[in-house]
A and B are shown apart, each in its own frame.
Chain A
Amino acid sequence: MNIKHLITATALLAGGITGGVALAQSAPLELVGPVAEYKIYVSENVDQLAKETARFVAAVKAGDIARAKALYAPTRVYYERVEPIAELFSDLDAAIDSRADDYEGAEKDPEFPGFHRIEYSLWEKNTTNDVKPVADKLLAHVKELQSRIGKLTFPPEVVVGGAAVLMEEVAATKISGEENRYSKVDLWDFKANTDGSYKIVELVRPLIAKKEARFLAEVDKNFKTVYDILKTYETNEGKGYVSYEKLTDKDRTTMAAAINKLAEDLSTLRGKLGLK
């Protein structure tokens, strides 16, 4: 063990978090406000998701390929922002957002459902003819999600942990461009995941602002790195993003490093708030 490292590690975890010294006493009371506010954020996004999915599904069923393509990415944004909560219902998450890799038969697997199955037909086959029943099911599942989230008591550790979950999501599937491999709209998802993570940090910020100033400064710096780069790929007056293929290697690397560091740092957020 290197002494310098040890000191750094201890200093970083201000307040003596190491070695059995207690973290902040568990603070569910303090978290009541942020969690309630987060529930509103999630509900608003899921309501919007239901509304936009209905429009998207209508376009698919009408065979309006151009319109369906145009609605695809903006609809998904509402899902991607609240993924930590949406993922709590794993059956619905699979039905709405699973990818071809999740199935042995890949794209041709009859079980492959949801947004990405429709994405595949739209971009790879330029048709909606084979996905109309898939679209009906998608809408039904989104409505089911809306209803379940309405009844859900939000566990504080899931809310706070969600900040890191979203960064893990970006690191695992967005950086590689695998999530929307047919439409190349990953920068939309990238932004939505980052927004969702940043929202959680904003909500708990007042609780740790004093004690974790250094930590928050580092987190803010990395969020800024990601946002600054995303900004340079905006199109349509900031209402959308260019194809993921336009992302340069250098920008991808810079964002990957910022995302990896955010995932590392935010993985301590629950602990810092005294949560398990």
Chain B
Amino acid sequence: MMKKQEAPAPRDVTERDGASLPNTPNTPASRRMALKMGIAALGSVWMGGYARAASRSDGETSAANVTNAPVTNAATPGDRVPFFGKHQAGITMPRPANGMIASFSVLAETPEALERLFRRLTERAIFLTHGGAPPEYDPRLPPADSGILGPNIPPDARTITVSLGNSLFEERPWLKPHKPLRLSRMTRFPNDALDAALCHGDLSLQICANTQDSTQHALRDILKNLADQLVLRWMQEGNVPVIQPGPDKAAESARNLLGFRDGSANPDAGDEALMNRLVWVGPERGEPAWALGGSYQAVRIIRNFVERWDRAPLWEQEAFIGRAKVTGAPLDKPRATEADVPDYVNDPQGEKTPLASHIRLANDRTPETQDNIILRRPFNYFNGVAKNGQLDQGLLFICYQADLEKGFITVQRRLDGEPLEEYLKPVGGGYFFTLPGVAHKNDFFGSALIAAIRA
């Protein structure tokens, strides 16, 4: 029944999030398990395609900006991201070239039904993350798999990140008392033109992979296998430009569709202490115990008016963003790189970096705003042509933070009214709570939440 086709060759060995749990796929025990499950070529866990992610046990340190651009010819179908861990995958690791957010209505009306959903999602996520051969059925039946990736599903750096929306809790009296403290329904900001058909949801899946085929394959697998448990509401996919490494091999932030490097000032995802402070919900936040190790996910579908942007003078584009377009350098250090930090103390009037520029409003680099720093992990999207004949493209903005109010909501409020708004129009998205990780093979998504409901 299982095909014994070899997965593509390994590339790079990494460990996710510094997780040191038993039965992570990096341990011999889990390797055995995986082999039993019919997955070939599981010597270790690999992830090619980008700079090494997160902290690791071998003591090697490397700055890991999740918004670094993937590098040409570095990704392979054999790239495998560990599934098990304290936190979910797909957050503190650099983006592969493709990602999507899919938002669903949840049918579960009882704790039992919710547990069934979480367990089924876990099963599918494990299979899709690890790869392998789907079962073969009699040809008189529909096949188990869409087949778009061939008979042996490569892992292809696939991650599936599960988050819960405000409505899931609010509409179920037995779930409501367990809602994360800062989870709310996304409300309109002044520049928004929200389309109800692209907003909110009971549950979001962030699916990322090296190729678009892999993210679409995963979505179709989940729709097929959870047909009576999840109903798709909206979906937005995007990608990250894959770049040729420069002569010095330094990592570069990927460009967005405004042509600027996006994510230069992202916090270092390889700094575990920093991630514990900014991204992961810790015990100090007063959140329900089940939520520890989770995070808040803010999603925004932000259309860019690109024709108009392309007609804006370069100096104005740079003044609106606050960086040099070509290099990403701060405006007060024109010969620097995107990695250099702007000096606002010596530019109090904004003569170099305008006070209303995007980067200065978002992060004024004062001690008072350091708790507002968010981990951005966006994708560019291309949706064809709008009714007016202009291009419908923009940014699938995704960010993670330990406190939604201090994070995205505060930053967006500071950005309200920024000059850049002339070129941007948020049309959809939502707020979700990203579940803690699945710790081991007998665990499942949301197990602590289910236990809390039953307690």
Interface residues of A (CB under 8 A from B): 1-6, 9-10, 13, 17-23, 222, 253-254, 256-258, 260-261, 263-264, 267-268, 270-271, 274-276
Contacts and interface: CB of A to CB of B under 8 A. Distances in A.
Nearest to B105: A253
A271 B140 contact: yes
Given A17-B138, A254-B107, A271-B140, A2 B123 contact: yes
Q: Is the interface of A mostly helix, strand, loop or mixed?
A: helix
Contacts of B223: 260
Given A2-B37, A274-B140, A264 B107 contact: no
7 contacts: A1-B39, A1-B132, A2-B37, A3-B37, A6-B1, A258-B228, A264-B227
B27 interface: no
Contact of B127 (A1, A18, A264): A1
A191 to B, nearest CB: 20
B122 to A, nearest CB: 9
A18 B141 CA distance: 9
Interface in B218-232: 223-224, 227-231
Given A13-B137, A264-B224, 15 more contacts: A2-B37, A2-B123, A2-B126, A3-B37, A5-B123, A6-B1, A9-B144, A18-B137, A19-B135, A22-B138, A253-B231, A257-B230, A258-B228, A260-B228, A271-B138
A226 to B, nearest CB: 12
Contacts of B137: 13, 17-19
B142 interface: yes
B134 A1 contact: yes
Nearest to A265: B227
A3 B224 CA distance: 18
Contacts of B37: 1-3
Nearest to B122: A2
A157 to B, nearest CB: 10
A275 B139 CA distance: 10
Contacts of B138: 17-18, 20-23, 271
A72 B353 CA distance: 67
A264 B142 CA distance: 9
Given A2-B37, A222-B228, A9 B135 contact: yes
B167 to A, nearest CB: 10
Given A2-B126, A3-B37, A19-B1, A261 B134 contact: no
A253 B135 CA distance: 30
B133 interface: yes
A276 B138 CA distance: 10
